[in-house]
Amino acid sequence: MMSSMKFAVIGAGYAGLAAAVELAAAGRQVEVFEASRTLGGRARAAQIDGFEVDNGQHILIGAYTETLRLMRAVGADPNALLKRTPLRFEFPGEFLMSAPSFAIPVPAPLHTAFALLLAQGLDWREKRAAIRLMLGLRAARFRIEPDITVTKWLDSNKTPSRQRRLLWEPLCIAALNTPADRASAQILGNVLRDSLGGKRAASDLLLPQVNLSALFPDPAAKFVAEHGGAVHSGHRVNSLRREDDAWQIDDAGPFAQVVLAVAPYHLAALVPELVPSVAHFDWEPIVTSYLRYPATVRLPQPMLGVDAGLAQWLFDRGALCGQHGLIAAVISARGRHLDLPMAELERGIHAEIARIVPGLPQPLAVQTITEKRATFACVPNLQRPQAHTGLPGLWLAGDYVAGDYPATLEAAVRSGVAAARAALAA
Ligand SMILES: Cc1cc2nc3c(=O)[nH]c(=O)nc-3n(C[C@H](O)[C@H](O)[C@H](O)COP(=O)(O)OP(=O)(O)OC[C@H]3O[C@@H](n4cnc5c(N)ncnc54)[C@H](O)[C@@H]3O)c2cc1C
């Protein structure tokens, strides 16, 4: 009887939809409930000023193997939807590290050593120190025990300050959305292991050429529907309760197994007894400003870093997805930018772009999206809840669930897949 019962997923972010695809692919009938009308959760399409953008500019990397696998499974071709470029870490006029483009491909992990050796903006002493740090990490199998902050880890490796400012600290904020003085060195080590420490393609940057809902969530929902399931968008679940050895979701059910794929701060409304497992979490914001210029305006590269600026990264949406003249500026984690009035922040970002693009005209329009709880603060030794809730047939999925990665699309997808597999095996 139980085996013929439907499965349910609450939340259609990347975690929930990954779980739903995995369940549907295994032949289960699955219903997905999503509060918003737009699928994708924190990685979803948004409309501004007549443009279709995202609620925050995202990047993926080649190491996002599960995200890429599931994209292929639902017919969303990563080669068509993502712009793959070899790693390029650039702060114009200050620093440039890019994967070497030799005629003969350099095998892993030498490609990272070569990239560091060829980097512009570090002297030999700094390059040697950076390579020593990577090789030391590799020799320790990317284990940093006990876990400490990235700053303490860099201190213990006597990392020169310019190298911190131009390489490790921006890398840490980009990967963990947590400043180095608070971020977990072990989680950064995990990301380095799978990207710079892995095969060369693993460190490639994958920049979306479509909005984030079209990248995976919409094709995933179609896949679920084609496999006999349903995705109910615009349905905020108000009640999740256990009745007769099965789950009821509002007036739908019975469901044999439920994957709860909401963000941690949504748990209280649905299963208050799970709140203690995330009560110690702290949050980091991400601010994305979209500046619209005449269509002829472009950046020298699709993605650029800003050294010591308000903005940290600039993206040319013209080069990425044909939205010519639209530049996205991303500011990750907490910082002085949060204290500025919005107009001042936007003026400051415009001035930073003007330093890179000579003769830049005033923007035609500017709009800023602030996600106050973009990700959990990825601090050392953070206790993250397991997928198994302890309640029968109820599994957690989401970027915050126990795993190797910081709060990212890949963490969300991996946890969705793991929760679905656990539900299938139960
Ligand atoms: C601005 C920004 C920039 C980012 N940049 C990057 C990046 O460059 N690279 C990267 O890998 N990651 C990035 N991230 C992180 C990434 O977006 C998240 O890790 C990921 O989207 C989390 O997915 P999730 O499915 O775990 O949670 P969510 O996306 O939060 O999904 C939870 C879903 O549950 C729904 N929900 C909640 N309560 C209910 C209810 N009662 N009933 C029904 N539905 C409900 C919500 O509406 C939501 O859709 C960024 C995040 C932000 C905000």
Atom of ligand 1 nearest to the CA of 397: 26
Residue 409 CA: nearest ligand 1 atom is: 11
**What region does 194 belong to: left with phi over 0, alpha with psi -120 to 50, or beta?**
alpha
What per-residue confidence (pLDDT) applies to 118?
75
84 forms beta bridges with 206
| C-alpha dist (Å) from residue 93 to 112, 122, 168, 233, 350 | 21, 12, 18, 47, 18
Q: What is the mean pLDDT of residues 6-20?
A: 98
Q: What was the pLDDT predicted at 235?
A: 98
**Average pLDDT of the residues in 35-49:** 94
pLDDT of res. 37: 97
> Which of residues 90 and 418 earns the better pLDDT score?
418
Over range 348-355, report the average pLDDT. Answer: 96
Q: How far is the CA of 315 from the centre of ligand 1 (A)?
A: 21
In angstroms, what is the span from residue 153 Cα to ligand 1's centroid?
Answer: 30
For the chain, the straight-line distance linking the first and the last C-alpha, in angstroms and rounded, comes to: 14
The backbone torsions φ and ψ at residue 18, rounded to the nearest 5 degrees and listed phi first, read: -65, -45
pLDDT at 307: 83
For the segment 167-204, what is each residue's pLDDT rounded down to a tens digit? 899 889 999 999 999 999 999 999 999 988 777 788 88
Query: Can you give the pLDDT at residue 206?
Result: 94
DSSP code at position 326:
E
Q: Looking at residue 1, what is its pLDDT?
A: 44
Instruction: Quote the ligand 1 centre to 263 CA distance (angstroms).
Output: 7
30-34 vs 230-233, strand pairing mode: parallel
pLDDT score of 110: 60
**Residue 104 reports pLDDT greater than 80:** no
Mean pLDDT of the chain: 92
Model confidence at 77, pLDDT cuts 50, 70, 90, reads: very high
Model confidence at 415: pLDDT above 90: yes
Measured by CA distance, the residue closest to atom 49 of ligand 1 is 41
Q: Quick one: pLDDT band at residue 107, thresholds 50, 70, 90?
A: low
Centroid of ligand 1 to alpha carbon of 148 (angstroms): 27
Ligand 1 pocket by C-beta < 6 Å: which residues?
Answer: 10-16, 33-36, 41-43, 56, 58-60, 236-237, 261-263, 266, 269-270, 286, 288, 371, 374-375, 398-399, 407-410, 412
- Mean pLDDT calculated for residue range 380-401: 97
Residue 357 — φ and ψ, nearest 5°?
-110, 100
Cite the beta strand spans of 73-197 per DSSP E.
82-85, 88-91, 95-98
**Segment 118-160, tens digit of pLDDT:** 788 888 888 888 888 988 998 999 999 999 999 999 999 999 9
How many angstroms separate the alpha carbon of residue 40 from the centre of ligand 1? 7
Which phi and psi (to 5°) does residue 92 adopt?
-50, 130
Ligand 1 pocket test: which of 37, 65, 408 has the largest number of ligand atoms within 8 Å of its C-beta? 408
Confidence at residue 103, expressed as pLDDT on a 0 to 100 scale:
43
Candidates 140, 176, 133, 135; CA nearest to 154 is 133
pLDDT(215) > 80: yes
- Ligand 1 center–CA 158 separation, angstroms: 37
The residue contributing the CA closest to ligand 1 atom 13 is: 408
pLDDT reading at 102 higher than 60: no
Residue 43 has pLDDT above 50, yes or no: yes
Describe the strand order of the beta sheet including 365-376 as a list of residue ranges. Answer: 303-305, 313-316, 326-332, 283-292, 365-376
DSSP 40-86: BTTS-EEEETTEEEESS---EETT-HHHHHHHHHTT--HHHHEEEE-
The CA 39 to ligand 1 mean position distance, Å, reads 10
Of 34, 38, 42, 206, the residue with max ligand 1 atoms within 8 A of its CB, to mutate for a pocket test, comes to 42
Pair 302, 90: CB distance under 8 Å = no
Atom 19 (ligand 1) nearest CA: 408
Mutate to test the pocket of ligand 1, among 65, 82, 211, 262 (most ligand atoms within 8 A of CB): 262
> How far apart (Å, rounded) are the C-alpha atoms in residues 71 and 326?
26
**In the chain, how many H helices and how many E strands?**
15, 19
